Amino acid sequence: MLVFAIETSCDETSICLMKNNKIIKHITHSQEIHSIHGGVVPELASRSHLEKLQEMTIKLFKEEDVNPYKIDVFAATCGPGLIGSLLVGSTFAKSLAISYNKPFFPVNHLEGHILSTSFNNNIKYPNLNLLLTGGHTQIYLMKNENNIRLLGETIDDAVGEAFDKVAKLLELKYPGGSEIEKKASKGNENSYNLPKPLINKNNYNFSFSGLKTHINLLVKKNNLNENFIQDLSASFQKTVSQIIITKLDKGLDKLHKKGISIKSLSVVGGVSNNNYIRKKLENLFERKNIEIYFPLKEMMSDNAAMIAWVCIKKFDSSKKDIFFKPDSRLQIKNI
């Protein structure tokens, strides 16, 4: 099956041509316009998708000598995400589908992240899926790839959002995740004892906003010199990873008591790029003899390859999805 997929849920314009389980071509354009605003501006994101999408698609078809009539399905992210951005990508994909008289397949962005590790790993079930992005922090239980249940999520900021907000407080560049990691590598992670909200609660939920507020107070009391930034970045990164590790560890025990013995963990989303958090997770799960999977590098942050992959796995020719409306709050439903 030859699939052309589009991802435009936030500030990455991404397209991918995938044949079965092979990426033929995958291009992602990260919008830089938002960096001067310190965060994504929805209206600017939609306009930028509109400008880039056509140019990128024409270029890809030309370079790969693609006959669009040979494409079997046109797929696009239909939520969750910024509604204007979702409308640009999905309408563009639907227009191509109508032009070439082919089916359109709507993809849930979260399902794209969740299934991303199955592209390069043979998943052992039941699988725990840890989704860490700028918009979501969630834990899913996957009994198989069609049985995906949300166990818990953040009740306020997403983990990637917390990284960005702390980076902004420390006057680092946007997006903040990689900047904090760089500064943290030179700092002392035991410099500051930061709060770990919800860590002792008997559920799978996270909270990161209190951590950010505490850091804001520390920033106001101290000089923003290099040592302070490095030490605070290291302490913040350590605290975030402790929160994640503790919740997962307790979650595994809870599931075990219910008779569910987890065989593997998938860590997906942009924050899975963070080497410090990866190492801590690897240590915990290796000790417990549970396999741990990460997506391919190009399938970690928002990307169209994971959208194409969901289409390859789940396209159903009996459904007519051309009228599927994008939904900014689309959820994962059990199928």
Using DSSP, state whether 269 is helix, strand or coil.
Answer: coil
Q: Is 122 exposed, middle or buried (0-12, 13-18, 19+ CB in 10 A)?
A: exposed
- The CB-of-240 to Zn ion minimum distance in angstroms stands at 18
- The CB-of-134 to Zn ion minimum distance in angstroms stands at 7
Indicate the residue among 159 and 194 with the shorter CB distance to Zn ion: 159
Indicate the residue among 80 and 197 with the shorter CB distance to Zn ion: 80
Residue numbers of the site for Zn ion (CB under 5 A)? 133, 302
- The CB-of-268 to Zn ion minimum distance in angstroms stands at 9
- The CB-of-138 to Zn ion minimum distance in angstroms stands at 11
Query: CB–CB of 4/74 below 8 Å?
Result: yes
Measured distance CA(245)–CA(268) in Å, rounded: 15
Indicate the residue among 288 and 297 with the shorter CB distance to Zn ion: 297
Distances (CA, A) of 296 to 49, 64, 143, 157, 324: 24, 22, 22, 26, 29
- The CB-of-197 to Zn ion minimum distance in angstroms stands at 23
- The CB-of-208 to Zn ion minimum distance in angstroms stands at 17
Helix (H) or strand (E) holding 279: helix 275-287
Indicate the residue among 110 and 166 with the shorter CB distance to Zn ion: 110
Neighbours of 133 (CB within 10 A): 23
Indicate the residue among 181 and 302 with the shorter CB distance to Zn ion: 302
Q: Who's near 273: CB < 8 A, 6+ residues apart? A: 177, 178, 297, 300, 301
Angle at 326 between CA 322 and CA 331, to 5 degrees: 115
Indicate the residue among 40 and 262 with the shorter CB distance to Zn ion: 40
Measured distance CA(333)–CA(325) in Å, rounded: 16
